[in-house]
């Protein structure tokens, strides 16, 4: 990242006006910001000089989360005395944030705003849900940062983001008539709903493995593996030895999706088709619950990498499956967020809320 990131520019083909707790402009704010996107697989950190609604990158680095025992320990590697002192920090963290504290859902860290402020000697520290950060990041994206999965009417109204990655993140955005207000949810941990006999068999497979069967067990990287293993068992098919070795040695979800692209093993292709079907189903559930006329956005690291595997007609078929509410779902646009740094930008602008005005 070497370009300057600017807040809310209508001229680039996409304008998503967000309210940062009542603040719609940062023109008078200046200072040094640390922004973080803390997830189960990786933690992305960026240091910015903030001035007049813009982020000027100073340093950015990505870390494997599970290689560090705590956030302050990781920071000792990222920030040195040669870098400017930090005025404010905002971390988007994958987990339920309550009272400035969070325990990671898919990693072992416990983070507390007060502890981080004390350890790093920074007065203003805020922790938000990573999906809130993702939502706030929409404020800096342009039209080229999206891939359309389903056309819609782009009616101003509530919106939502669903993000398959290491886990499944979901966030709503309330429309107040002039600006959007993100609010966190843990909807990815709600119960998987079944529509077909295959779905019921899949639920039984997962229930035996996990007990509670949530959407996160299906629409995520580990979910791709769960679908794959279920189809192998359900069809009583043995996987090729060379594929078994690749899955064992590498990132299983990535290996399966690559196999699907190459069409070298039919079960991999079926796995990804079923993954997209389930994603469409849960995206539609969110659209109905939030009446998301402002659109459904698909974030996370998986979809940008497998966009060529998505059959838009199949996605549309499984998205518009709610009988009397089909006319509503037909109006709602669905777009994939291609810029994976969106949560980092969102966290940075959330940090800017705490900067003093000059």
Confirm or reject CATH 3.30.1330.40 for domain 149-337, answering yes or no.
Answer: no
Query: Which residue numbers in the chain have pLDDT < 50?
Result: 11
Retrieve residue 32's tokens.
Answer: 């040094």
pLDDT for 82 equals 87
CA angle 49, 52, 58 (to 5 degrees): 15
Domain ranges of the chain: 5-140+341-352, 149-337
This prediction's pTM: 0.93
pLDDT digits (tens, 9 = 90+) for 194-220: 999 999 999 999 999 999 999 999 999
Distance (Å, rounded) from C-alpha 183 to C-alpha 173? 6
For domain 5-140+341-352, the CATH architecture is 2-Layer Sandwich (3.30)
Task: State whether residue 111 is helix, strand or coil.
Answer: strand
Compute the distance between CA of residue 165 and CA of residue 149 in angstroms, rounded to an integer: 18
> Is residue 156 a contact partner of residue 173, using CB atoms and an 8 Å limit?
no
* Distance (Å, whole) CA 332 – CA 151: 7
pLDDT at res. 205: 98
Give the separation between CA 284 and CA 306, rounded to whole angstroms: 20
Calculated CA dihedral for residues 151, 154, 160, 162, nearest 10 degrees? 20
Which residues make Cβ contacts (< 8 Å) with residue 346, sequence separation at least 6? 92, 132, 133, 134, 135, 136, 137, 138, 139
Question: Which residue, 332, 341, 356, 354, is CA-closest to 136?
Answer: 341
């Amino acid at each position: 990242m070497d370009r300057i990131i600017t807040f809310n520019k209508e001229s680039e083909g996409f304008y998503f006006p967000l309210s940062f707790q009542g603040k719609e402009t940062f023109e008078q704010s200046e200072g040094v910001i640390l922004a973080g996107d803390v997830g189960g697989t990786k933690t992305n950190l960026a240091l910015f000089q903030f001035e007049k609604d813009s982020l000027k990158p100073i340093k950015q680095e990505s870390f494997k989360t599970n290689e560090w025992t705590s956030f302050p320990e990781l920071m000792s590697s990222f920030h040195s005395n040669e870098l400017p002192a930090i005025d404010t920090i905002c971390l988007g963290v994958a987990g339920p944030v309550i009272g400035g504290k969070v325990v990671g859902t898919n990693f072992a860290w416990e983070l507390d705003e007060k502890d981080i402020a004390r350890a790093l000697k920074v007065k203003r520290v805020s922790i938000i849900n990573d999906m809130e950060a993702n939502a706030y990041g929409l404020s800096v994206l342009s039209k080229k940062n999206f891939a359309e999965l389903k056309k819609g009417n782009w009616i101003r109204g509530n919106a939502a983001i669903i993000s398959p990655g290491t886990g499944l993140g979901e966030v709503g955005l309330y429309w107040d008539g002039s600006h959007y207000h993100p609010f966190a949810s843990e909807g990815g941990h709600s119960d998987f709903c079944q529509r077909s006999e295959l779905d019921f068999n899949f639920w039984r497979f997962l229930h035996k493995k996990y007990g509670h069967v949530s959407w996160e067990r299906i629409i995520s990287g580990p979910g791709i593996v769960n679908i794959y293993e279920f189809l192998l068992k359900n069809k009583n098919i043995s996987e090729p030895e060379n594929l078994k070795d690749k899955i064992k040695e590498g990132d299983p979800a990535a290996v399966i999706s690559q196999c699907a692209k190459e069409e070298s093993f039919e079960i991999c292709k079926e796995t990804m088709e079923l993954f997209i079907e389930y994603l469409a189903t849960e995206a539609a559930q969110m659209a109905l619950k939030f009446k998301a006329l402002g659109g459904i956005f698909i974030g996370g690291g998986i979809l940008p990498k497998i966009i060529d595997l998505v059959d838009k007609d199949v996605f549309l078929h499984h998205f518009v499956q709610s009988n009397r509410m089909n006319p509503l779902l037909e109006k709602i646009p669905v777009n994939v967020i291609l810029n994976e740094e969106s949560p980092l930008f969102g966290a940075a602008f959330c940090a800017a809320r705490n900067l003093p005005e000059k």
